[in-house]
Amino acid sequence: MTDQEKILELNNINKSFQDLKVLQNLNLEINQGEICCLLGPSGSGKTTLFRIAAGLEAADSGQIIKKNRPRFAYVFQSPRLLPWKTAAENLIFVQKNYGLEKEEKLRNLLFKLSGLEDFKDSYPHELSGGMQQRLELIRAFAVKPDLVFLDEPFKSLDMKTRVNLRKLISLIQRESGISIFLITHDPEEALLLADRIYILAAEKKGILKEIRVEEPRENRKLADPELYQQLENIMNIFTSLVSDLDYAVEDIRKLF
Amino acid sequence: MKNFITKPFWLLLIVIFLIWERGAAGLNSLILPSIGESYQALKEIAVSGILVKSFIITLRRTLIAYGAAVLAGIILALLLHRFSLLQRTFRPLITIIQATPPVVWVSLAVVWFGVADDLTPIFLIFTVSLPVIFVNIFQGLEEMNTDLIEMAKAYSTPRLRILKEIYLPSLLPALVSALSVAFAFAWKSSVFAEFIASSSGIGYQLSRANSMMATDRLFAWTIVLVLFMLFVEYYLLEKLKAHVSRWKND
Please tell me the predicted confidence (pLDDT) of residue A1. Answer: 44
Chain region(s) in chain A for CATH 3.40.50.300: 6-70+147-255
Phi/psi for A10 (5° steps) reads -115, 125
Calpha distance A35→B109 (Å, rounded): 71
Calpha distance B242→B249 (Å, rounded): 12
Beta bridge partners of A184: A39
Please tell me the predicted confidence (pLDDT) of residue B128. Answer: 92
Percent of the residues in chain B that have a pLDDT greater than 90, as a whole number: 37
Chain A residues with beta carbon closer than 8 angstroms to that of B154:
54-56, 72, 74
Q: Do A76 and B147 touch (CB under 8 A)?
A: yes
pLDDT average, residue stretch A189-200 = 88
User: Is A174 exposed, middle or buried (CB count within 10 Å of its CB: 0-12, 13-18, 19+)?
Assistant: middle
Calpha distance A55→A181 (Å, rounded): 13
Size (chain A), residues = 256
- Find the CB nearest B154 among A56, A93, A96: A56
Chain B residues with beta carbon closer than 8 angstroms to that of A151:
none
User: Is B193 exposed, middle or buried (CB count within 10 Å of its CB: 0-12, 13-18, 19+)?
Assistant: buried
Q: Is the pLDDT reported for residue A119 higher than 50?
A: yes
Q: Please report the beta strands in chain A, taking only residues with DSSP state E, as ranges in sequence order.
A: 6-17, 20-31, 35-39, 61-66, 72-75, 147-151, 179-184, 196-201, 206-212
A85 touches chain B (CB under 8 A): yes
Max mean pLDDT range (A87-101, B14-28, B173-187)? A87-101
B21 touches chain A (CB under 8 A): no
Distance, in angstroms, between B150 CA and closest chain A CA? 8
Q: What is the DSSP string of B100-150?
A: S-HHHHHHHHHHHH-S-TTHHHHHHHHHHHHHHHHHHHHHHHHT--HHHHH
Q: Do B157 and A94 touch (CB under 8 A)?
A: yes
- Per-residue pLDDT band at A149 (split at 50, 70, 90): very high
Query: What mean pLDDT, rounded, does chain A reach?
Result: 87
- Find the CB nearest B248 among A56, A80, A125: A125
Q: What angle do CA A165, A169, A172 make, to 5 degrees?
A: 135
Q: Are strands A206-212 and A72-75 parallel, antiparallel or unpaired?
A: unpaired
A73 touches chain B (CB under 8 A): yes
Please tell me the predicted confidence (pLDDT) of residue B249. Answer: 57
Domains of chain B, each with CATH number or no CATH: 34-244 (1.10.3720.10)
Q: Is the pLDDT reported for residue B1 higher than 60?
A: no
Q: Assess contact for B183 and B241: CB atoms under 8 A.
A: no
B247 touches chain A (CB under 8 A): yes
Chain B residues with beta carbon closer than 8 angstroms to that of A73:
155
Q: Do B165 and A82 touch (CB under 8 A)?
A: yes
- Find the CB nearest B247 among A55, A56, A84: A84
Distance, in angstroms, between B244 CA and closest chain A CA? 9
- Find the CB nearest B151 among A74, A98, A143: A74
Distance of CA A196 to the CA centre of its chain: 12
Chain B residues 123-162 with CB within 8 Å of chain A: 147-148, 150-152, 154-158, 161
Q: Which of A171, A189, A186, A83 lies closest to A132 in space, CA to CA? A: A83
C-alpha pair distances (Å), B12 with each of B19, B24, B32, B84, B102: 11, 18, 20, 49, 32
pLDDT average, residue stretch B3-18 = 79
Q: How many CB atoms are located within 10 Å of the residue A84 CB?
A: 20
Q: Is the pLDDT reported for residue A228 higher than 80?
A: no
Q: What is the DSSP string of B174-200?
A: HHHHHHHHHHHHHHHHHHHHHHHH-SS
Query: What mean pLDDT, rounded, does chain B reach?
Result: 87
In 3-state terms chain A splits into helix, strand, coil percentages (rounded to 5) of 40, 25, 35
A74 touches chain B (CB under 8 A): yes
Phi/psi for A82 (5° steps) reads -80, 115
Q: What CATH topology corresponds to A6-70+147-255?
A: Rossmann fold (3.40.50)
Q: Do B169 and A84 touch (CB under 8 A)?
A: yes
Q: Are strands A61-66 and A6-17 parallel, antiparallel or unpaired?
A: antiparallel
pLDDT digits (tens, 9 = 90+) for B83-137: 989 989 988 998 899 889 988 998 888 888 877 678 888 999 999 999 999 999 9
Please tell me the predicted confidence (pLDDT) of residue A244. Answer: 76
